Structures are given as C-alpha cells and as structure tokens.
Amino acid sequence: MLRTAFCTALLLALGSAGLVAQDSARWGDELGGPPLPPTRSLPGSAAQPVRWPAPPLNPPPKPLRAIYVNAWAFGSRRFYDLVRLADTTEINAFVIDAKDDTGYLTYRSENPIAVAIGANGKLRARDAERRLGVLLEHGIHPIARIVVAKDPLLAARKPAWSIQHVNGGLWRDRLNFAWVDAFNDSVWIYAAQLAAEAVRMGFAEVQYDYVRFPDEPRARMETAVFPARRPGETRREGVARGLAILRERTKPLGVPFTIDAFGLTTSATSDMGIGQFWDDLVTSADVVLPMVYPSHYYHGFYDMRRPNSEPYRVVRRALEDGMRRAGALGKTAEIRPYLQAFTLGKPRYTPVEVRAQIRAAQELGIESWVLWNPGSAYDPGIFRKDAAALSSAPPGDKGASGRPSLVQ
C-alpha cells in the first residue's frame, strides 16, 4: 500500500490549484492568488464543433522540452504570453488540458458520452482550434492531456461506471472527489474516444494522466466497492488491462501513446496500491512520464533528510532507478520526466532548483522533459534562449522571433 503522507500534504495544499490558473505577478505563487478571469472569446471565435480534417501531424521534436498549460491558461491571454516565451527559448511543446480532473472539456466535443454528461458545460477555450493553429504556426508541438480515472463529472452522471461506497452511494476521496472505476472498460474507451477527437482537431500527441486507482489510506480504500472488478483481479491487472485498451485505440491515430506515472513507480517494487507498476508502464506506452517532483518524496527517502531540498539528487536517483529497470526489459518506452517548477514547502523553487533537475536528467542522457506548474506560471529565467529565434528578430525588437506574429 502506498505511503501517502507526502501525497496528503500535496493534495491539501494544492486542492484545485491545477484547475485554476493563478494570475500572480510573482512566479512560484501558484498556491495562492486570484484566478484568471473567465475565458474571453476573441473576435470570430464563436464556439464551433470539431472540424475535419485535422492539420497534418508532425512528429515530436527531439529533444522535446515542454511546459504544462492548464485549461484556463490555454483559453486566456496567458496563452499568448506562453507562446512568446516559447518563441525565444528552448520550449518547443505544450501539454494542454483537453480533459482535466474536473471531467469538463476544454473544447466543444461531439462525443455522445461527453454531450450526455454535460462535459461541454464549462468550456475554457471556445476558440481552441484557433489557438491550436497558433501553436502549429509557431512550431510548438501540441500535446493533449486527458485525465482518465479521476473524473467526478462522469462519476456523478454515470454512477454505474463509478467506485461505490460500501454503505451505498458514490465513494469519495479525502477531498470529496468521486472517481470512476478503473476496472470498467468503458472508462478507458471514453478517454480513448476523446483522444481521437483531440487528434482530429489538431493535437499531435496524447498524454493520459490518472491511469490508476486513488492514492488513499488503506482505511478509506476498504470502504470502496469496484462494481466492474473481475473475480480475483488485482488493481495492477486492472490498470494493465486499461492501458491495453488505450494502446490499441491510440495506435491507429498515428500519434505517440504517452502516460503519466507517480514518480515513486521508478523505485517501488509493488503497485503501491494504485495499480501502477513500472515494468507494466514502460512495456505498454511509447513514452512514460514519471512525475519525479522532489516535494513528493517523504523524509528519509533515498536516505535524504529533506528530499525537497535536494532536487538534483532526487531526480537523478529516481531516473537512474527507472532506467536500470527498463534496461533489463529490453525495448521499452522513452522516459520523459515531469519536473517540478512550483514551490511546495521549503525551499522556494527558483530557476536554480528547476535547472538542477534538468541537469540531473541530461547527465543521464535524458534530454526531453516537461515542467509542471499548476498555475502555468513560469519564470523565463528557467529556460535557455533559442539562438535561432533571437538572431531572426527584427532590429530593436529583442522579444520577437522569425516565427509568424501572434494575432489576437
């Protein structure tokens, strides 16, 4: 069973911070501050259903260096600031919420299940296709992040697909979120259908998150009932079966099949009670993204008194474990770590702490990475400058690049 002390602190501190972008002038203040204003429709950006066909798909850049862009940031003016950041730095990809852990969609979907449950009810980017076009024009690789098992909207509207409480009704986690049942094939099929729609709209890669069971204390999990669980089936077997469904349905889309994973999976010798086992992950996907955030490791892990204070050592040790285990399995997925670009506890994370993580990965030969900041607020000082972009800037305009200008 997963030790959840460190997870509890993270969840209670962040709450829904990953769902609401923080409009703070100080980078790193993602745990507080007012949310961005509601999505603003730009001229000619009335909500439209997905159009066909999608733009031609491009392969992922190598190396891929991405930032996470939450749904609110993607649909707001912050999106254009992030594009400008990418224009002049090493950033060449955005991981964008297509469906986050509220269950609501960022763009307007035509999927029958999405329509039936009201997943179009809180569109964060009514002009999503236009914004995807901006990314493609600027050479930024668009990746659709789709949350699978933590979907309180689907759980409430499709209770037969959901985890039930032993005393009746929906089971809920410590933060009062309902989850769908990861033993249920329909849950995974729904995620794959949304992925297909996202690719047709213009996303060039699909990244599945929350491909697991809840990370809750044993006592709370003992009150959970999984209606779709097959006799004798373990959580690890349930996740493996779900991943097989995603792989089978994502492969024909012609885009990489990528999955997010707990950082601890690289070192753990069990599925930690959530169904994720490193060997299964790296033999299922094209890319696995372990979330090796130093703040997530409890005191004493890797013999470090305060892992959060040693970002270089934590990331290096975690990735070394993952690479060693994957190497013993033969041909496996690319390891593309999620790195910490937010502050949780002490010390405050600055570009120094973020670059230390990047250096740890690079010294192991891992050149691709994604930075996570729940408010999508990134200090430009983190990133290396893009010499080609800067050299093509118009005279007197140090912030411009040779890529097409932004039209707002």
Q: What is the mean pLDDT of residues 356-367?
A: 98
Structural domains in the chain, CATH included, are: 5-16+64-391 (3.20.20.80)
Task: Give the pLDDT score at 176.
Answer: 96
Classified as helix, coil or strand, 117 is helix
State percent of the chain over pLDDT 70: 81
Q: Using CA atoms, how far apart are residues 41 and 71, in angstroms rounded to an integer?
A: 14
pTM of the model as a whole: 0.84
Task: Give the pLDDT score at 32.
Answer: 29
Q: Which of 137, 94, 80, 129 is nearest to 109 (CA)?
A: 129
Spatial neighbors of 18 by CB under 8 A, at least 6 apart, are 70, 100, 101, 374
- In this predicted structure, the answer to whether residue 315 has a pLDDT above a threshold of 70 is yes
Strand partners, 287: 258, 334
- In this predicted structure, the answer to whether residue 195 has a pLDDT above a threshold of 90 is yes
Task: Give the pLDDT score at 58.
Answer: 79
- In this predicted structure, the answer to whether residue 150 has a pLDDT above a threshold of 90 is yes
- In this predicted structure, the answer to whether residue 160 has a pLDDT above a threshold of 80 is yes
Identity at 350, one-letter amino acid code: T
- In this predicted structure, the answer to whether residue 143 has a pLDDT above a threshold of 80 is yes
- In this predicted structure, the answer to whether residue 11 has a pLDDT above a threshold of 60 is no
Task: Give the pLDDT score at 19.
Answer: 27
Task: Give the pLDDT score at 394.
Answer: 43
244's enclosing H/E stretch is helix 235-250
CB 243 within 8 A of CB 280: yes
Q: Residue 202's CB: how many other CB atoms inside 10 A?
A: 23
CB 309 within 8 A of CB 315: no
Name the average pLDDT for the chain. Answer: 85
Classified as helix, coil or strand, 181 is coil
pLDDT digits (tens, 9 = 90+) for 338-350: 999 999 999 999 9
**pLDDT classification of 386: cutoffs 50, 70, 90:** confident
Task: Give the pLDDT score at 49.
Answer: 45
State percent of the chain over pLDDT 90: 79
Spatial neighbors of 43 by CB under 8 A, at least 6 apart, are none
Q: What is the mean pLDDT of residues 133-146?
A: 96
